[in-house]
């Protein structure tokens, strides 16, 4: 059997993390493309990527994505352990999981069961943001009012995956 290995360097973890499962690497288009750039036939010949890939997320986020991809090799069903882990995650970690999934090009359907908890948490952030913006406007003197209404401004800068802090 041939060997494939890629090493990851997470934001908050000093040691390198190795992925040696070809099927997992193949299901992550970003990693597969890196392997292919080193060896066009990486799936058929020993290929070890020596340069570690810097991942601008925490190990917790990266490991969750890798575990989900690995588990999907046998079943796409979400187990109880994964559900509990997602329910207890911080808002930022959940958002970063979806950002990493997009950056790596992983099949989004593997993470579909986790969309509802994320949506609920994002709705809380939106409500807080809107209330905070409207509160600031209420304290301005009449002469200091911006031309744009507070409702317009709050919808123009509503948190989304492009303007929320993405790195843990």
Residue 97, pLDDT above cutoff 60: yes
Residue 65, pLDDT above cutoff 80: yes
- 162 confidence band (pLDDT: 50, 70, 90): low
Chain mean pLDDT for the chain: 79
Query: Which residue, chain included where needed, has tokens 């790596």?
Result: 104
Residue 41, pLDDT above cutoff 90: yes
**Contacts from 158-166 at CB under 8 Å and sequence distance 24+?**
158/126, 158/129, 158/130, 159/122, 159/125, 159/126, 159/129, 161/95, 161/98, 161/99, 161/102, 164/95, 164/125, 165/92, 166/56, 166/57, 166/95, 166/96, 166/99
What percentage of residues in the chain have a pLDDT greater than 70? 71
Residue 157, pLDDT above cutoff 80: no
- 152 confidence band (pLDDT: 50, 70, 90): very low
Please indicate whether residue 10 or residue 139 has the higher confidence score (pLDDT): 10
Output the pLDDT for position 105.
Answer: 94
- 151 confidence band (pLDDT: 50, 70, 90): very low
């Amino acid at each position: 059997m041939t060997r494939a290995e890629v090493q990851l360097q997470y934001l908050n973890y000093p040691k390198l993390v190795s992925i040696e499962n070809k099927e997992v690497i193949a299901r992550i288009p970003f990693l597969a493309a890196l392997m292919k750039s080193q060896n066009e036939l990486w799936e058929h010949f020993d290929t070890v990527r020596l340069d570690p890939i810097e991942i601008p997320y925490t190990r917790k986020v990266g490991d969750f994505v890798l575990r989900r991809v690995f588990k999907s090799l046998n079943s796409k069903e979400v187990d109880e352990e994964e559900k509990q882990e997602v329910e207890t995650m911080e808002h930022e970690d959940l958002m970063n999981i979806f950002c990493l999934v997009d950056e790596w090009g992983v099949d989004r359907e593997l993470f579909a069961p986790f969309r509802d908890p994320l949506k609920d948490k994002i709705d809380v952030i939106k409500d807080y943001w809107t209330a905070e913006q409207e509160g600031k406007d209420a304290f301005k003197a009449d002469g200091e009012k911006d031309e744009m209404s507070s409702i317009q401004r709050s919808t123009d800068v509503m948190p989304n995956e492009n303007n929320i802090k993405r790195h843990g």
